[in-house]
Amino acid sequence: MLTSITEGILCCLTGKTANLVLPLESSEPSDGFEYVEVKPGRVLRVRHIVPEHSPISNNDGDSGSIVHCKRKITVYRNGQLVIENLGDVLHSEILQCQDGDLEPCSTVEVELADYKDIASSPDPNPVPPPVPPPPGEHKPAPPPRRRRRKPKRTVLIDSKRMISSCKGTHSDVALFFVHGVGGSLDIWSSQLDFFSRLGYEVIAPDLAGHGASTAPQIAAAYTFYALAEDLRAIFKRYARKRNILIGHSYGVSFCTFLAHEYPDLVHKVVMINGGGPTALEPSLCSIFQLPSCVLHCLSPCLAWSFLKAGFARQGAKEKQLLKQGNAFNVSPFVLRAMMSGQYWPEGDEVYHAELTVPILLVHGMCDKFVPMDEDQRMAEILLFAFLKVIEEGSHMVMMECPETVNTLLHEFFLWEPDMSRKGSSKTDTEKAIAASDTLHTLKNSKPVNK
């Protein structure tokens, strides 16, 4: 603590920042690690594991279920977002690889996040309630119908997507893992080892200034767009025919960006504690707006706060996980620049509603950074979304509950909707029994209502 305060004072007096990248202690530094220069002088460390695929036929990997994605998204000036699902809508639980049932076309109507405060304000000119007519008199004629509202923006989506099972034996499948602020690729160590043993090709980069990647000394190097271009270069370098993106926290935004930019290459997406479908904007009243030297003095307190808020428990096991994962081991300059650079106005509700890729949402019930209602709202906006809540997990749920997370992800990778029942109809009794069995078996799973 005293050392941090002394270094912070020297930092303020000399005007120099502390070391921008910390050395990474690894017993096997060359075990699957590569260094990729995404731009001149901008090098990212990437863990890339390519398992040896056995010489089997991959014809089953080309077959899948074709789902018709047809939506009409209308944004009104009063803040309403109306989503009309006109194509195939999937409704399924992600457990034991259960097939998805088709729901009839439906309409989802929500209010924009930015309009909540305005919509809750009282009407300046309230209309008095109608006075009931005296007995014996005719009721007055109903008022004329209001003129139809003019939409502010309308987006039409009409495409077909093939959703198939992605097995580790398929050589055309690649898994991309993207960490968030203050993390590193080492937070995915359990997932990388698990899926590489199953035969999957896995790719996990260190963001700029994190882990063993280079740390530029300019704040512009850590904006959302700069980091997104880094990940675009990594994705284009390692992408296969079918790619699955797995993001955590801030990393979810980059996965959303890539899924929107490359809809034909991104097969499925997993969002772990990513928050709601709102545009990113840095907070002006955050502690991370303080000077870097002050943050350097407060670094022990920040690390303890992250441990307390990021894990459901704060025992020796969690401290060791935090150390092994090299999480929150970044310089104050990088941390401040990362938090100040979270500006992404395009990533609003409509941007997320345009995604047609199947998405699994994983939320730790004890998460103190991301509220539960934000992931629920994300599930309402997305077309093919499944929300799974892990009660004993927090923000770093993939480190706290690696077996549970690995099982959920693997079942989602193998999941494929059964479109053979598209024309079949169930009786009300059959639907009630099926719904009762599903809720009894998976009371923690919350499927999206489309």
pLDDT value of position 283: 77
Query: How does residue 190 score in pLDDT terms, banded at 50, 70 and 90?
Result: very high
Query: What is residue 166's three-state secondary structure?
Result: coil
- Cβ contact 42:58 at 8 Å: no
Q: Averaged over 334-361, what is the pLDDT? A: 94
Longest dimension (CA), the chain: 93
pLDDT higher for 335 or 19?
335
Which region among 7-21, 60-74, 222-236, 321-335 has the lowest average model confidence (pLDDT)? 7-21
Give the Cα separation of 288 and 290 in Å (integer). Answer: 5
pLDDT value of position 248: 97
pLDDT tens for 24-59 read: 333 344 578 999 999 999 999 999 999 886 555 444
How much is the mean pLDDT over the chain? 79
Q: In the chain, what percentage of residues exceed pLDDT 90?
A: 53
pLDDT value of position 308: 75
Give the Cα separation of 310 and 305 in Å (integer). Answer: 8
Q: Does the structure show a pLDDT above 70 at 421?
A: no
Q: Does the structure show a pLDDT above 50 at 416?
A: yes
pLDDT value of position 12: 45
DSSP count for the chain of H helices, then E strands: 15, 15
DSSP track, 395-440: TTHHHHSHHHHHHHHHHHHH----GGGSS----HHHHHHHHHHHHH
Which residue in the list 164, 196, 213, 249 is annotated as catalytic?
A: 249
pLDDT higher for 322 or 85?
85
Give the Cα separation of 415 and 270 in Å (integer). Answer: 13
pLDDT tens for 275-284 read: 999 999 987 6
Burial zone of 449 (CB within 10 Å; 0-12 exposed, 13-18 middle, 19+ buried): exposed
pLDDT value of position 129: 52
Which region among 11-15, 298-302, 318-322 has the lowest average model confidence (pLDDT)? 11-15
User: What are the C-alpha distances in Å from 286 to residues 37, 231, 281, 336?
Assistant: 32, 27, 12, 10
Encoded tokens for 152: 């502010």
The size of the chain, in residues, is: 450
Q: Does the structure show a pLDDT above 60 at 253?
A: yes
pLDDT value of position 23: 34
Is 249 an active-site residue?
A: yes
Q: Does the structure show a pLDDT above 60 at 328?
A: yes
User: What are the C-alpha distances in Å from 259 to residues 2, 222, 357, 358?
Assistant: 46, 21, 8, 10
Q: Does the structure show a pLDDT above 70 at 8?
A: no
Encoded tokens for 401: 């509950």
Which region among 22-26, 227-231, 361-365 has the lowest average model confidence (pLDDT)? 22-26
- Cβ contact 109:80 at 8 Å: yes
Q: Averaged over 174-180, what is the pLDDT? A: 97
Q: In the chain, what percentage of residues exceed pLDDT 70?
A: 67
Q: Averaged over 265-273, what is the pLDDT? A: 98
Q: Averaged over 96-101, what is the pLDDT? A: 52
Q: Does the structure show a pLDDT above 70 at 360?
A: yes
Q: Averaged over 305-324, what is the pLDDT? A: 80
pLDDT higher for 325 or 352?
352
Which region among 12-21, 32-41, 294-303, 406-415 has the lowest average model confidence (pLDDT)? 12-21
Which residue in the list 367, 375, 394, 410 is annotated as catalytic?
A: 367
pLDDT value of position 34: 96
Which residue in the list 48, 296, 352, 395 is annotated as catalytic?
A: 395
